[in-house]
Chain A
Amino acid sequence: MSIAASREPIDSVTLGVINNAFVNLCREMGTAMMRTSYSTIFNEGLDFSCVMFNRAGDLIGQAEFCPTMLGSAQYAAKWTIEELGYDAFEPGDVIVHNDPYRGQCHMPEHLFMMPVFCRGQLWGFVANIAHVGEIGGMAPGSFAADGTEVYQEGLRLPPIKLMRRGEYVRDLWKVILTNHRTPKTTWGDYHAMMGSLKVAEARLQELLERYGPEFLSAAADQLLDYSERFMRAEIREIPDGCYEAEDCMEDDGVTDRPYFARLKLTVRGDEVIADWRHSDPQSRGPINATFVVTAAATYSGLLHVISNDIPLNSGCYRPIRLVTKPGTLTNVRHPGASVGGNTETHPRLQNIVLRALAQVIPDRVAAAEGGTACNFLFAGVHPETGEYFTNYHIEGSGWGGTATHDGGNVLCPENGNCRNAPVEVFETKYPFLTRDYRLRPDSGGPGRLRGGLASSRHLVVMAPEITLSALMDRTKTCAWGLFGGGEGMSAHILVKRRGQDTFQRFSEAFGTLSDSKFTRVTLREGDEVLLASAGGGGYGDPLERSRDDVLEDVREGFVSRQAAEQFYRFGE
Chain B
Amino acid sequence: MKIEKKLIQELGQLNVLSQENNETPLASLWENQKTVLIFVRHFG
B and A form one assembly? no
Instruction: Show the binding face of B for A, using Cβ within 8 Å.
Output: none
